[in-house]
């Protein structure tokens, strides 16, 4: 395959339209739809859960539209880092980048913990070699071995190039789509409308409890901007594919909520350890089909894991190039043209995640979710600032009614962020979730304290790197 490179020492452009769509869609699907569906349906009802994903997806679509315009205008590895730097200056860029980095890291760690749990559904006798207990959950050596082994393997695939990682992503997404088609067909043949009741459960708090999980579950479209320098598409098409990927994810989550809810009475789903798999088995009257869905869940794990490893490594690389992080993160491998040190750092963190056990899943969803929303807020602000300050900037993908879309994205993202605060229905728990968030932003505050304050503008990165160089 013919490839393009930004010179002898840049990224290699190999990603086509299908690759980009598979990257974003696979990132957004992940594994949450397998392990959390039963909780969502029992907490909000079948239609309530579906409605929460429509609402959350609408918010993400508005944010996605701002990203689509910005990535087409600034196709640089690092995405929101560059948008906020040009629109808000160095400190705004750091806040956006630091927030989304934690969001990405929590997804990578989530998948490292989720994979052993999924495999244990297929092999219940797998739990062996008790190591310790974390927050009431036992950690077993067999679980740790699976999570650590997978972390090493996926990091290695990404280390040797974006092309192998992209092929791996596309194959896994195709299998995932086939599982979704089987779920839909099974619901049409073996589902019952009566099982959908109650349509709504828990009132507004029930719906909100599902809604606050959606930022974590929908995050992934923004890995497209992170890998922008490796995409060989016209800039306008990159923005369009980003928006399409969000629409595909909304359709997927609504499909899962309704088809699984049609499979069994609500009480049975609530009592199930893995409601989506038991629902698939009931729809087809075959335990083998439940196994097929779990394998689809494993495909979702690896697609999400792979995509966020790509996204997080490119973002760390961009921050390091600008002087926000140590230059060690800015190294591109001389042969593979991948941000090798950033990949090794993130892969190393994912190796540690399985050591903390199953309870880590909930902590990561919530701690990552609020940081993702913080970045959405900053990107919406950057979008509006650039619309006002640089109206003549080339925008190959221009959002209709852009100012209105930007304001809506900002207001709705702020409202979503407020739901995580103390006293709200979905407040983060103490000490674990707030400790993760607090420790991350304490480290971020120390890094930002030493960062020169640079005003926004088209040359903001040049001025920032020059200032960092002068300060040593």
- pLDDT tens digits, 71-80: 889 888 788 8
Q: pTM of the prediction?
A: 0.84
* Whether 44 contacts 200, CB under 8 Å: yes
pLDDT at 227: 78
Peptide bond between residue 305 and the one before it cis (omega within 30 degrees of 0): no
Distance CA 248, CA 53 (A): 12
Distance CA 104, CA 99 (A): 9
3-state SS, residue 47: helix
Dihedral angle over CA of 406, 410, 411, 414, nearest 10: 170
pLDDT at 455: 93
Distance CA 17, CA 147 (A): 31
* Whether 397 contacts 72, CB under 8 Å: yes
> How many residues are recorded in the chain?
472
Distance CA 418, CA 429 (A): 14
pLDDT at 242: 86
Distance CA 103, CA 30 (A): 14
Task: Give the pairing type, strands 130-134 and 4-5.
Answer: unpaired
* Whether 330 contacts 126, CB under 8 Å: no
pLDDT at 5: 41
pLDDT at 9: 56
Residue whose C-alpha is closest to residue 341's, from 363, 365, 319: 319
Distance CA 201, CA 44 (A): 4
- The structure tokens 């393009």 sit at 4
Q: How far is CA 83 from the centre of its chain?
A: 19
* Whether 289 contacts 281, CB under 8 Å: yes
Task: Give the pairing type, strands 12-13 and 4-5.
Answer: antiparallel
pLDDT at 361: 67
The low-confidence residues of the chain, meaning pLDDT below 70, are 1-9, 216, 361, 425-426, 472
pLDDT at 52: 93
Distance CA 379, CA 99 (A): 11
* Whether 461 contacts 451, CB under 8 Å: no
């Amino acid at each position: 395959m013919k490839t393009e490179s930004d010179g002898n020492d840049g990224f290699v452009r190999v990603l086509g339209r299908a690759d980009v769509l598979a990257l974003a869609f696979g990132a957004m699907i992940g594994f949450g739809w397998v392990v959390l569906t039963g909780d969502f349906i029992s907490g909000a009802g079948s239609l309530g859960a579906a409605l929460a994903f429509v609402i959350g997806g609408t918010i993400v679509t508005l944010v996605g539209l701002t990203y689509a315009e910005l990535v087409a205008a600034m196709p640089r590895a690092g995405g929101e880092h560059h948008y906020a730097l040009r629109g808000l200056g160095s400190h705004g860029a750091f806040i956006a980048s630091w927030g989304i980095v934690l969001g990405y890291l929590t997804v990578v760690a989530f998948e490292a913990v989720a994979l052993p749990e999924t495999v244990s559904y297929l092999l219940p006798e797998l739990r062996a070699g008790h190591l310790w207990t974390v927050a009431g959950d036992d950690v077993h050596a067999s679980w740790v071995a699976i999570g650590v082994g997978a972390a090493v393997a996926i990091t290695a695939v990404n280390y040797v190039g974006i092309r192998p990682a992209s092929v791996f992503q596309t194959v896994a997404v195709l299998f995932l789509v086939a599982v979704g088609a089987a779920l839909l067909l099974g619901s049409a043949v073996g589902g019952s409308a009566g099982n959908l009741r109650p349509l709504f459960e828990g009132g507004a708090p029930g719906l909100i409890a599902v809604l606050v999980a959606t930022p974590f579950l929908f995050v992934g479209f923004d890995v497209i901007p992170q890998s922008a320098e490796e995409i060989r598409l016209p800039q306008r098409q990159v923005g369009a594919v980003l928006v399409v990927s969000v629409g595909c994810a909304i359709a997927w989550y609504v499909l899962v909520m309704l088809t699984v809810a049609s499979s069994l009475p609500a009480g049975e789903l609530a009592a199930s350890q893995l409601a989506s798999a038991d629902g698939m088995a009931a729809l087809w009257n075959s335990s083998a089909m439940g196994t097929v869905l779990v394998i689809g869940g494993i495909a979702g794990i690896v697609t999400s894991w792979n995509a966020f490893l790509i996204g997080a490594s490119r973002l760390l690389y961009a921050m390091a190039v600008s002087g926000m992080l140590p230059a060690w993160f800015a190294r591109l491998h001389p042969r593979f043209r991948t941000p090798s040190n950033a990949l090794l750092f993130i892969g190393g963190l994912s190796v540690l995640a399985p050591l903390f056990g199953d309870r880590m899943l909930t902590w990561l969803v919530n701690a990552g979710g609020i940081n993702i929303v913080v970045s959405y807020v900053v990107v919406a602000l950057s979008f509006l600032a650039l619309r006002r300050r640089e109206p003549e900037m080339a925008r190959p993908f221009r959002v209709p009614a852009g100012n209105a879309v930007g304001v809506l994205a900002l207001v709705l993202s702020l409202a979503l962020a407020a739901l995580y605060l103390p006293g709200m229905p979905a407040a983060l728990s103490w000490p674990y979730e707030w400790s993760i968030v607090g420790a991350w932003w304490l480290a971020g505050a120390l890094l930002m304290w030493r960062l020169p304050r640079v005003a926004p503008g088209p040359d903001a990165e040049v001025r920032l790197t020059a200032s960092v160089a002068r300060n040593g």
